[in-house]
């Protein structure tokens, strides 16, 4: 029998690594660097950017008009995160506590939406939410309402869209952390006299904190960037940082400012990730490490 020689394995390994590195460099590192470079250049009406150094774009970030957008964007993202947590936690808990053979199919239900582009799914939401859409047609047919409910092009529609799109990102880390939760600890708490609410606040919640944090980050950051959800469901109002960035590039033609907002968003993400990993490290050295 022909055994693959060590040199063959090494060649395969090096080729595989080289491929991944090239891909990452070409499609992630280079574009990111381009954005970072553009953000410190000057805008030009005809060629979009001129190669002259300027911090103008970053100064503009402090403009009250934009600060207001940042604030609003934050509020939307925070509210979306909270809603996802409220909806996702009970589901993830149920999922983690259900029989093993039901877990996989249920998990699949969470993942199935990923198979369709979220843009297309957002268009589908329009059909459900619009004045003569599915919800209103049913409610009117059932005689519950006479006039159609105004859902589409309101904040409610935007929240529905954001929560719907981002919910799996909350459920999956929550499930991963709740699934590891030792239910015997819950029994021990009951044994020591804890009521259900106390078991939740003192045992389940603190022990699922890593999952809650991971889920929050995975919902909060994309929520600020999902420009097409407010665009399609909230009317043409620019509400999120993502809308601002898109508009700077495609409408206002201000590439340096659009880039600066992008860099800001990336920095914010890095900051949150740093906090997350620091906290995780602290938790890991205390909670997770079983003796």
Partner 1 sequence: MGKQIVSFKGVTKGFDNQTVVDNISLDIYGGEFLTLLGPSGCGKTTMLRMIAGLESCDEGQVIINGVVSNDIPAAERDVNTVFQSYALFPHMTVLQNIAFGLSLKGRPEAEILEKVEEALAMVKLAGFGERRIQRLSGGQQQRVAIARAIVNEPLILLLDEPLSALDHKLRKEMRLELRQLHRKLGITFIFVTHDQEEALTMSDRIVVMNNGKIEQTGEPKEIYEEPANLFVADFIGESNFFDGRVTGTDGHWMDILVEDVAMTVRNRRGFFVNQDIRVLLRPEDMVIQRASDDCDQPHLKGRVEELIYKGNTVDLVIRLNSGKRIATTEFFNEDAEEIFYAQNEAVCISWIQGWEVVLPNE
Binding site for partner 1 (CB under 8 A): 182, 184-185, 187-195, 198, 202-203, 206-207, 286-291
Do the beta carbons of residue 218 and residue 224 sit within 8 Å? no
Query: Residue 192: CB partners within 8 Å, gap ≥ 6?
Result: none
Minimum separation from the CB atom of position 203 to partner 1 (A): 7
Nearer to partner 1, 142 or 197 (CB): 197
What is the nearest approach in angstroms of partner 1 to the Cβ of residue 281?
14
Shortest Å, Cβ 178 to partner 1: 15
Shortest Å, Cβ 179 to partner 1: 16
The set of residues, in sequence order, having a beta carbon less than 8 Å from that of 133 and lying 6+ positions away, is: 126, 127, 152
Q: Considering the complex, what minimum distance in angstroms separates the CB of residue 97 from partner 1?
A: 16
3-state secondary structure of 52: strand
Quote the least distance from Cβ 283 to partner 1, whole Å.
8
Nearer to partner 1, 150 or 187 (CB): 187
Looking at the Cβ atoms of 203 and 226, the one nearer to partner 1 is 203
Q: Which residue's CB is nearer to partner 1, number 84 or number 189?
A: 189
Q: Work out the number of other CB atoms within 10 angstroms of the CB of residue 259.
A: 23
Supply the minimum distance, in Å, between the C-beta of residue 99 and partner 1. Answer: 11
Identify the three-state secondary structure at position 16. Answer: helix
Task: Let me know: does 157 contact 118? Beta carbons within 8 Å.
Answer: no
* In contact, 39 and 260? CB cutoff 8 Å: yes
User: Would you say 50 or 198 has its CB closer to partner 1?
Assistant: 198
Q: Which is nearer to partner 1, 131 or 176 (CB)?
A: 176
Nearer of residues 147 and 192 to partner 1, judged by Cβ: 192
Q: What's the Rg (C-alpha) of the chain?
A: 24
Two tokens, residue 282:
């602290």
Count CB neighbours of 200 within 10 A. Answer: 15
The DSSP code for 114 is G
CA distance 43 to 255: 7
């Amino acid at each position: 029998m022909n055994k693959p020689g060590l040199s063959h394995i090494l060649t395969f390994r090096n080729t595989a690594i080289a491929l991944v590195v090239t891909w990452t460099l070409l499609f992630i590192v280079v574009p990111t660097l381009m954005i970072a470079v553009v953000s410190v250049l000057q805008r030009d009406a005809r060629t979009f950017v001129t190669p002259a150094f300027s911090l103008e774009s970053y100064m503009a970030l402090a403009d009250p008009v934009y600060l207001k957008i940042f604030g609003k964007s934050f509020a939307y993202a925070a509210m979306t995160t909270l809603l996802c947590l409220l909806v996702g936690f009970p589901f993830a808990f149920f999922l983690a506590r259900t029989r093993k053979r039901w877990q996989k199919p249920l998990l699949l239900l969470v993942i199935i939406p990923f198979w369709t582009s979220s843009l297309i799914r957002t268009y589908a939401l329009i059909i459900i939410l619009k004045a003569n859409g599915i919800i209103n047609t049913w409610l009117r047919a059932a005689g519950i309402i006479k006039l159609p409910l105004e859902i589409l092009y309101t904040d409610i529609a935007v929240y529905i869209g954001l929560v719907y799109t981002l919910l799996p990102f909350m459920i999956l880390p929550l499930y991963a952390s709740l699934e590891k939760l030792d239910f015997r600890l819950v029994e021990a708490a009951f044994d020591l006299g804890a009521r259900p609410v106390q078991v939740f606040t003192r045992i389940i919640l603190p022990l699922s904190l890593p999952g809650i944090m991971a889920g929050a980050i995975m919902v909060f950051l994309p929520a600020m960037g999902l420009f097409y959800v407010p665009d399609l469901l909230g009317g043409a109002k620019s509400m999120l940082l993502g809308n601002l960035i898109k508009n700077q590039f495609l409408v206002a033609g201000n590439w340096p400012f659009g880039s600066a907002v992008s860099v800001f968003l990336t920095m914010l993400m890095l900051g949150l990730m740093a906090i997350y990993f620091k906290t995780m490290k602290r938790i890991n050295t205390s909670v997770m490490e079983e003796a």
